[in-house]
Protein backbone atom coordinates (compact mmCIF):
# COMPACT_ATOMS: atom_id res chain seq x y z
CA UNK A 1 0.00 0.00 0.00
CA UNK A 2 0.98 3.65 -0.44
CA UNK A 3 0.79 5.39 2.91
CA UNK A 4 1.14 9.09 3.77
CA UNK A 5 2.54 9.95 7.20
CA UNK A 6 2.51 13.63 8.11
CA UNK A 7 5.03 14.40 10.85
CA UNK A 8 6.93 11.29 9.76
CA UNK A 9 10.32 12.75 10.76
CA UNK A 10 9.19 13.23 14.35
CA UNK A 11 9.48 10.91 17.30
CA UNK A 12 6.37 8.70 16.91
CA UNK A 13 6.17 9.33 13.14
CA UNK A 14 9.66 7.96 12.46
CA UNK A 15 8.89 4.74 14.38
CA UNK A 16 5.62 4.44 12.47
CA UNK A 17 7.35 4.93 9.09
CA UNK A 18 9.91 2.29 10.08
CA UNK A 19 7.21 -0.26 10.90
CA UNK A 20 5.23 0.47 7.73
CA UNK A 21 8.35 0.06 5.59
CA UNK A 22 9.16 -3.21 7.37
CA UNK A 23 5.69 -4.41 6.36
CA UNK A 24 6.62 -3.67 2.70
CA UNK A 25 4.49 -0.55 2.29
CA UNK A 26 5.54 2.50 0.27
CA UNK A 27 5.75 5.46 2.64
CA UNK A 28 5.38 9.18 1.85
CA UNK A 29 6.66 11.21 4.78
CA UNK A 30 5.63 14.88 4.88
CA UNK A 31 7.51 17.04 7.37
CA UNK A 32 8.85 20.56 7.75
CA UNK A 33 11.32 19.55 10.51
CA UNK A 34 10.07 22.17 12.96
CA UNK A 35 10.36 19.65 15.79
CA UNK A 36 11.46 16.54 13.85
CA UNK A 37 14.90 15.78 12.46
CA UNK A 38 16.59 14.33 9.40
CA UNK A 39 18.51 12.03 11.73
CA UNK A 40 15.26 10.30 12.76
CA UNK A 41 14.64 9.11 9.21
CA UNK A 42 18.21 8.79 7.90
CA UNK A 43 18.09 4.99 8.22
CA UNK A 44 14.77 4.76 6.33
CA UNK A 45 16.10 6.03 3.01
CA UNK A 46 15.38 3.63 0.17
CA UNK A 47 13.15 3.07 -2.84
CA UNK A 48 9.97 2.73 -0.77
CA UNK A 49 10.55 5.85 1.33
CA UNK A 50 9.74 9.27 -0.08
CA UNK A 51 10.48 12.42 1.89
CA UNK A 52 8.37 15.47 1.04
CA UNK A 53 9.77 18.48 2.88
CA UNK A 54 6.71 20.65 3.27
CA UNK A 55 4.86 22.77 5.83
CA UNK A 56 1.28 21.48 5.81
CA UNK A 57 -0.08 24.94 6.68
CA UNK A 58 1.32 26.38 3.43
CA UNK A 59 -0.24 26.21 -0.05
CA UNK A 60 -0.12 22.49 -0.47
CA UNK A 61 1.67 21.45 -3.62
CA UNK A 62 1.21 17.72 -3.09
CA UNK A 63 -2.35 18.01 -1.87
CA UNK A 64 -3.86 20.21 -4.60
CA UNK A 65 -6.82 19.21 -6.73
CA UNK A 66 -4.81 19.31 -9.94
CA UNK A 67 -2.08 17.05 -8.61
CA UNK A 68 -4.13 13.99 -9.37
CA UNK A 69 -0.91 11.98 -9.65
CA UNK A 70 -0.59 12.05 -5.89
CA UNK A 71 -2.56 9.07 -4.62
CA UNK A 72 -2.22 7.16 -1.38
CA UNK A 73 -4.27 4.38 0.22
CA UNK A 74 -4.08 5.54 3.84
CA UNK A 75 -3.20 8.72 5.72
CA UNK A 76 -1.73 8.96 9.20
CA UNK A 77 -1.83 12.61 10.28
CA UNK A 78 0.75 13.13 13.04
CA UNK A 79 2.23 16.53 12.17
CA UNK A 80 2.08 18.82 15.20
CA UNK A 81 4.47 20.10 17.83
CA UNK A 82 3.79 18.00 20.94
CA UNK A 83 5.81 19.35 23.87
CA UNK A 84 4.61 21.98 26.38
CA UNK A 85 7.91 23.78 25.72
CA UNK A 86 6.87 24.04 22.05
CA UNK A 87 3.46 25.45 23.00
CA UNK A 88 5.28 28.27 24.79
CA UNK A 89 7.81 28.91 22.01
CA UNK A 90 5.84 28.27 18.81
CA UNK A 91 2.16 28.73 19.69
CA UNK A 92 1.08 29.98 16.28
CA UNK A 93 2.76 27.15 14.38
CA UNK A 94 1.12 24.74 16.83
CA UNK A 95 -2.43 26.04 16.49
CA UNK A 96 -2.15 26.63 12.73
CA UNK A 97 -0.75 23.16 12.07
CA UNK A 98 -3.63 21.60 13.96
CA UNK A 99 -6.27 23.77 12.28
CA UNK A 100 -5.22 24.91 8.81
CA UNK A 101 -2.67 22.11 8.41
CA UNK A 102 -5.24 19.48 9.37
CA UNK A 103 -7.70 21.03 6.92
CA UNK A 104 -5.18 20.71 4.08
CA UNK A 105 -4.55 17.04 4.86
CA UNK A 106 -8.27 16.35 5.28
CA UNK A 107 -8.88 17.85 1.82
CA UNK A 108 -6.69 15.08 0.44
CA UNK A 109 -8.49 12.39 2.50
CA UNK A 110 -11.84 13.71 1.27
CA UNK A 111 -10.75 13.82 -2.36
CA UNK A 112 -9.22 10.32 -2.31
CA UNK A 113 -11.80 8.93 0.17
CA UNK A 114 -9.18 6.89 2.02
CA UNK A 115 -8.81 5.92 5.69
CA UNK A 116 -7.53 8.85 7.75
CA UNK A 117 -6.04 8.54 11.24
CA UNK A 118 -5.83 11.72 13.30
CA UNK A 119 -3.22 11.69 16.07
CA UNK A 120 -5.20 13.48 18.74
CA UNK A 121 -4.24 13.65 22.39
CA UNK A 122 -5.24 13.13 26.00
CA UNK A 123 -4.87 16.93 26.24
CA UNK A 124 -8.40 17.21 24.82
CA UNK A 125 -9.51 16.17 28.34
CA UNK A 126 -7.59 19.15 29.82
CA UNK A 127 -7.23 19.00 33.61
CA UNK A 128 -9.67 16.12 33.95
CA UNK A 129 -12.41 15.95 36.55
CA UNK A 130 -13.02 12.29 35.68
CA UNK A 131 -10.43 9.61 36.35
CA UNK A 132 -9.36 7.50 34.54
CA UNK A 133 -10.42 9.20 31.34
CA UNK A 134 -12.93 7.43 29.11
CA UNK A 135 -13.59 8.59 25.54
CA UNK A 136 -17.04 9.79 26.65
CA UNK A 137 -15.52 12.39 29.02
CA UNK A 138 -15.92 15.82 27.43
CA UNK A 139 -12.98 17.52 29.10
CA UNK A 140 -12.07 20.53 31.20
CA UNK A 141 -10.03 22.81 28.97
CA UNK A 142 -9.07 26.47 29.29
CA UNK A 143 -9.24 28.27 25.93
CA UNK A 144 -7.08 31.08 27.30
CA UNK A 145 -3.88 29.44 28.48
CA UNK A 146 -0.40 28.61 27.22
CA UNK A 147 -1.57 25.10 26.39
CA UNK A 148 -4.63 26.16 24.40
CA UNK A 149 -2.75 26.38 21.07
CA UNK A 150 -2.31 22.62 21.45
CA UNK A 151 -5.32 21.30 23.34
CA UNK A 152 -7.87 23.54 21.66
CA UNK A 153 -6.01 23.06 18.37
CA UNK A 154 -6.48 19.30 18.73
CA UNK A 155 -10.10 19.68 19.80
CA UNK A 156 -10.70 21.71 16.64
CA UNK A 157 -8.80 19.11 14.59
CA UNK A 158 -11.12 16.40 15.96
CA UNK A 159 -14.22 18.47 15.16
CA UNK A 160 -12.93 19.28 11.68
CA UNK A 161 -12.09 15.64 10.93
CA UNK A 162 -15.48 14.52 12.24
CA UNK A 163 -17.31 16.95 9.96
CA UNK A 164 -15.16 16.08 6.92
CA UNK A 165 -16.03 12.44 7.58
CA UNK A 166 -19.76 13.27 7.72
CA UNK A 167 -19.44 14.98 4.36
CA UNK A 168 -16.99 12.75 2.47
CA UNK A 169 -17.75 9.41 4.23
CA UNK A 170 -14.14 8.21 4.46
CA UNK A 171 -13.04 5.87 7.24
CA UNK A 172 -11.97 8.17 10.09
CA UNK A 173 -9.99 7.09 13.11
CA UNK A 174 -9.48 9.64 15.89
CA UNK A 175 -6.85 8.34 18.29
CA UNK A 176 -6.32 10.12 21.62
CA UNK A 177 -2.68 9.42 22.36
CA UNK A 178 -1.55 9.53 26.01
CA UNK A 179 2.05 10.38 27.01
CA UNK A 180 4.40 8.35 24.85
CA UNK A 181 8.18 8.04 25.15
CA UNK A 182 11.12 6.05 23.85
CA UNK A 183 14.23 6.31 21.69
CA UNK A 184 14.37 9.26 19.25
CA UNK A 185 12.30 11.57 21.44
CA UNK A 186 14.28 14.84 21.29
CA UNK A 187 16.92 15.20 23.98
CA UNK A 188 15.99 18.85 24.55
CA UNK A 189 12.32 18.31 23.91
CA UNK A 190 11.35 19.52 27.40
CA UNK A 191 8.84 16.71 27.99
CA UNK A 192 9.35 15.10 31.34
CA UNK A 193 10.95 11.76 30.42
CA UNK A 194 13.60 13.05 27.99
CA UNK A 195 14.27 16.02 30.28
CA UNK A 196 14.71 13.87 33.40
CA UNK A 197 16.89 11.32 31.57
CA UNK A 198 19.07 14.04 30.04
CA UNK A 199 19.52 15.72 33.43
CA UNK A 200 20.21 12.40 35.18
CA UNK A 201 22.88 11.49 32.62
CA UNK A 202 24.47 14.96 32.70
CA UNK A 203 24.45 15.16 36.52
CA UNK A 204 22.04 18.11 36.58
CA UNK A 205 19.14 18.41 39.04
CA UNK A 206 15.83 16.91 37.90
CA UNK A 207 13.43 19.81 38.29
CA UNK A 208 9.89 18.89 39.29
CA UNK A 209 7.27 21.53 38.49
CA UNK A 210 4.78 21.66 41.35
CA UNK A 211 4.97 19.21 44.22
CA UNK A 212 5.36 16.13 42.04
CA UNK A 213 2.07 14.54 43.12
CA UNK A 214 0.61 15.06 39.64
CA UNK A 215 0.39 11.82 37.68
CA UNK A 216 0.89 10.62 34.13
CA UNK A 217 0.63 7.20 32.46
CA UNK A 218 3.48 6.57 30.04
CA UNK A 219 3.35 4.35 26.97
CA UNK A 220 6.45 2.98 25.25
CA UNK A 221 6.60 4.00 21.59
CA UNK A 222 6.57 0.42 20.17
CA UNK A 223 3.28 -0.25 21.92
CA UNK A 224 1.85 3.03 20.65
CA UNK A 225 2.83 2.25 17.04
CA UNK A 226 1.28 -1.23 17.41
CA UNK A 227 -1.97 0.40 18.49
CA UNK A 228 -1.99 2.94 15.66
CA UNK A 229 -1.44 0.23 13.05
CA UNK A 230 -4.06 -2.06 14.63
CA UNK A 231 -6.66 0.70 14.57
CA UNK A 232 -5.85 1.64 10.98
CA UNK A 233 -6.06 -1.99 9.86
CA UNK A 234 -9.72 -2.40 10.86
CA UNK A 235 -12.03 -1.17 8.15
CA UNK A 236 -15.01 0.67 9.67
CA UNK A 237 -18.26 1.24 7.81
CA UNK A 238 -19.27 3.95 10.28
CA UNK A 239 -17.34 6.31 12.51
CA UNK A 240 -16.86 4.61 15.90
CA UNK A 241 -15.86 7.71 17.87
CA UNK A 242 -12.50 8.59 19.39
CA UNK A 243 -10.26 5.86 20.82
CA UNK A 244 -7.80 6.27 23.71
CA UNK A 245 -4.33 4.73 23.29
CA UNK A 246 -1.78 4.59 26.06
CA UNK A 247 -0.49 2.52 28.94
CA UNK A 248 -2.68 2.78 32.06
CA UNK A 249 0.30 2.24 34.41
CA UNK A 250 -0.01 5.53 36.34
CA UNK A 251 2.88 7.12 38.20
CA UNK A 252 3.46 10.39 40.05
CA UNK A 253 6.09 12.74 38.63
CA UNK A 254 8.03 12.48 41.91
CA UNK A 255 8.17 8.67 41.64
CA UNK A 256 9.17 8.99 37.99
CA UNK A 257 12.10 11.26 38.92
CA UNK A 258 13.29 8.81 41.59
CA UNK A 259 12.96 5.87 39.19
CA UNK A 260 15.01 7.61 36.49
CA UNK A 261 17.77 8.50 38.97
CA UNK A 262 17.94 4.88 40.14
CA UNK A 263 17.74 3.27 36.69
CA UNK A 264 20.42 5.53 35.25
CA UNK A 265 22.71 5.19 38.27
CA UNK A 266 22.83 8.98 38.60
CA UNK A 267 23.95 11.20 41.49
CA UNK A 268 21.54 13.98 40.43
CA UNK A 269 19.34 15.59 43.02
CA UNK A 270 15.67 16.50 42.68
CA UNK A 271 14.67 20.17 42.85
CA UNK A 272 11.29 21.90 42.73
CA UNK A 273 9.93 24.76 40.64
CA UNK A 274 6.52 26.49 40.77
CA UNK A 275 3.64 24.56 39.23
CA UNK A 276 2.98 25.18 35.52
CA UNK A 277 -0.19 26.94 34.37
CA UNK A 278 -3.13 24.55 33.84
CA UNK A 279 -0.92 21.51 34.38
CA UNK A 280 -3.26 18.48 34.42
CA UNK A 281 -3.10 16.96 37.91
CA UNK A 282 -4.05 13.40 36.95
CA UNK A 283 -3.93 11.50 33.72
CA UNK A 284 -4.65 7.86 33.04
CA UNK A 285 -6.36 6.35 30.01
CA UNK A 286 -9.25 3.96 30.13
CA UNK A 287 -8.19 1.74 27.23
CA UNK A 288 -11.04 -0.76 27.34
CA UNK A 289 -12.35 0.35 23.94
CA UNK A 290 -8.94 -0.09 22.26
CA UNK A 291 -8.48 -3.45 24.01
CA UNK A 292 -11.89 -4.87 23.16
CA UNK A 293 -12.30 -3.51 19.66
CA UNK A 294 -8.72 -3.62 18.35
CA UNK A 295 -6.94 -6.12 20.65
CA UNK A 296 -4.62 -3.38 21.93
CA UNK A 297 -2.51 -4.46 24.91
CA UNK A 298 0.64 -2.52 25.80
CA UNK A 299 3.47 -4.95 26.59
CA UNK A 300 6.35 -2.81 27.77
CA UNK A 301 6.17 -1.64 31.39
CA UNK A 302 7.63 1.62 32.65
CA UNK A 303 10.89 0.23 34.07
CA UNK A 304 11.71 -1.72 30.91
CA UNK A 305 10.78 1.20 28.65
CA UNK A 306 12.82 3.65 30.71
CA UNK A 307 15.84 1.34 30.59
CA UNK A 308 15.62 1.14 26.79
CA UNK A 309 15.26 4.91 26.53
CA UNK A 310 18.16 5.57 28.91
CA UNK A 311 20.35 3.23 26.83
CA UNK A 312 19.43 5.09 23.64
CA UNK A 313 20.22 8.45 25.28
CA UNK A 314 23.62 7.13 26.35
CA UNK A 315 24.44 6.43 22.69
P1 LIG B 1 7.26 15.34 17.34
O2 LIG B 1 7.36 16.78 17.60
O3 LIG B 1 8.48 14.51 17.55
O4 LIG B 1 6.71 15.04 15.89
C5 LIG B 1 5.87 15.93 15.18
C6 LIG B 1 6.38 16.04 13.75
O7 LIG B 1 5.49 16.90 13.02
C8 LIG B 1 7.76 16.66 13.67
O9 LIG B 1 8.60 15.90 12.82
C10 LIG B 1 7.52 18.05 13.10
O11 LIG B 1 8.61 18.56 12.38
C12 LIG B 1 6.28 17.79 12.24
N13 LIG B 1 5.49 18.99 11.98
C14 LIG B 1 5.01 19.88 12.89
N15 LIG B 1 4.35 20.87 12.28
C16 LIG B 1 4.40 20.62 10.95
C17 LIG B 1 3.91 21.28 9.79
N18 LIG B 1 3.24 22.44 9.87
N19 LIG B 1 4.14 20.71 8.58
C20 LIG B 1 4.81 19.55 8.47
N21 LIG B 1 5.32 18.88 9.53
C22 LIG B 1 5.12 19.41 10.75
O23 LIG B 1 6.06 14.82 18.28
P24 LIG B 1 5.54 13.35 18.58
O25 LIG B 1 5.67 13.13 20.03
O26 LIG B 1 6.14 12.37 17.64
O27 LIG B 1 3.99 13.52 18.27
C28 LIG B 1 3.41 13.06 17.05
C29 LIG B 1 1.91 13.27 17.10
O30 LIG B 1 1.34 12.54 18.21
C31 LIG B 1 1.50 14.73 17.30
O32 LIG B 1 0.36 14.99 16.53
C33 LIG B 1 1.15 14.81 18.76
O34 LIG B 1 0.20 15.80 19.03
C35 LIG B 1 0.59 13.42 19.03
N36 LIG B 1 0.74 13.06 20.44
C37 LIG B 1 1.96 12.71 20.96
C38 LIG B 1 2.07 12.41 22.31
C39 LIG B 1 3.37 11.99 22.92
O40 LIG B 1 3.41 11.80 24.14
N41 LIG B 1 4.45 11.81 22.19
C42 LIG B 1 0.95 12.47 23.13
C43 LIG B 1 -0.26 12.87 22.58
C44 LIG B 1 -0.37 13.13 21.22
N1 LIG C 1 7.42 18.14 34.38
C2 LIG C 1 8.35 18.32 35.40
N3 LIG C 1 9.62 18.66 35.06
C4 LIG C 1 10.04 18.79 33.76
C5 LIG C 1 9.08 18.59 32.73
C6 LIG C 1 7.78 18.28 33.09
O7 LIG C 1 8.02 18.18 36.58
O8 LIG C 1 11.22 19.07 33.53
C9 LIG C 1 6.04 17.75 34.74
C10 LIG C 1 4.97 18.65 34.12
O11 LIG C 1 4.69 19.76 34.94
C12 LIG C 1 3.79 17.69 34.04
C13 LIG C 1 4.44 16.33 33.81
O14 LIG C 1 5.79 16.46 34.23
O15 LIG C 1 3.10 17.67 35.27
C16 LIG C 1 4.39 15.86 32.36
O17 LIG C 1 4.89 16.91 31.57
P18 LIG C 1 5.22 16.79 30.02
O19 LIG C 1 5.81 18.09 29.62
O20 LIG C 1 6.03 15.58 29.75
O21 LIG C 1 3.84 16.58 29.26
P22 LIG C 1 2.31 16.83 29.56
O23 LIG C 1 1.77 15.52 29.98
O24 LIG C 1 2.14 17.87 30.61
O25 LIG C 1 1.81 17.26 28.23
Pocket flag, ligand 1, residue 247 (CB < 6 Å)? no
Confidence at residue 59, expressed as pLDDT on a 0 to 100 scale: 77
**Which residue owns the Cα nearest ligand 2 atom 23?**
179
For the CA atoms of 247, 248, 253, 258, the dihedral, rounded to the nearest 10 degrees, stands at -70
Instruction: Mark whether 220 is an active-site residue.
Output: no
**Which residue owns the Cα nearest ligand 2 atom 17?**
192
How far apart are the CA of 134 and the centre of ligand 2, in A?
Answer: 22
How far apart are the CA of 215 and the centre of ligand 2, in A?
Answer: 9
Atom of ligand 1 at shortest distance to CA of 122? 43
Contacts of 125 (CB under 8 A, 6+ apart): 133, 137, 139, 140, 141, 176, 280, 283
**Which residue owns the Cα nearest ligand 2 atom 8?**
192
How far apart are the CA of 191 and the centre of ligand 2, in A?
Answer: 6
Atom of ligand 2 at shortest distance to CA of 85? 19
Digitized pLDDT (tens) for each residue of the chain, 315 residues in all: 999 999 999 999 999 999 999 999 999 999 999 999 999 999 999 999 999 999 999 976 676 666 777 899 999 999 999 999 999 999 999 999 999 999 999 999 999 999 999 999 999 999 999 999 999 999 999 999 999 999 999 999 999 999 999 999 999 999 999 999 999 999 999 999 999 999 999 999 999 999 999 999 999 999 999 999 999 999 998 999 999 999 999 999 999 999 999 999 999 999 999 998 889 999 999 999 999 999 999 999 999 999 999 999 998
Nearest listed ligand to the Cα of residue 36? 1
Cβ-contact 283, 167 below 8 angstroms: no
**Which residue owns the Cα nearest ligand 2 atom 13?**
192
Nearest listed ligand to the Cα of residue 283? 2
Predicted TM-score (pTM) above 0.95: yes
How far apart are the CA of 285 and the centre of ligand 1, in A?
Answer: 20
Q: Which CATH superfamily, name and number, covers 192-215+249-282+303-314?
A: UDP-galactose 4-epimerase, domain 1 (3.90.25.10)
Pocket flag, ligand 1, residue 157 (CB < 6 Å)? no
Can you tell me the distance from the alpha carbon of 33 to that of 51, in angstroms, rounded to the nearest whole number?
11
Query: For the chain, what are the domain ranges?
Result: 2-181+220-248+284-299, 192-215+249-282+303-314
How far apart are the CA of 275 and the centre of ligand 2, in A?
Answer: 10
Class of domain 2-181+220-248+284-299: alpha beta
Pocket test for ligand 1, best of 14, 33, 79 (most atoms within 8 A of CB): 79
Catalytic entry in 76, 150, 164, 220:
150
**Which residue owns the Cα nearest ligand 1 atom 28?**
78
Amino acid sequence: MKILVTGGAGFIGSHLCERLLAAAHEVFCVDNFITGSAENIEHLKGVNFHLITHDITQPPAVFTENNSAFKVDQIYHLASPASPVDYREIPLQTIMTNSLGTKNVLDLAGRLCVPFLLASTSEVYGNPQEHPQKESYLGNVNTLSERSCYNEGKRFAEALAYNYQRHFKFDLKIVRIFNTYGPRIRRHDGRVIPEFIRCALEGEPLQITGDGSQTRSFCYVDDMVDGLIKIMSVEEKEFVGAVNLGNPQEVSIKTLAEKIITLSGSDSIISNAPAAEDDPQKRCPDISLAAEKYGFAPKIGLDEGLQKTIQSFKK
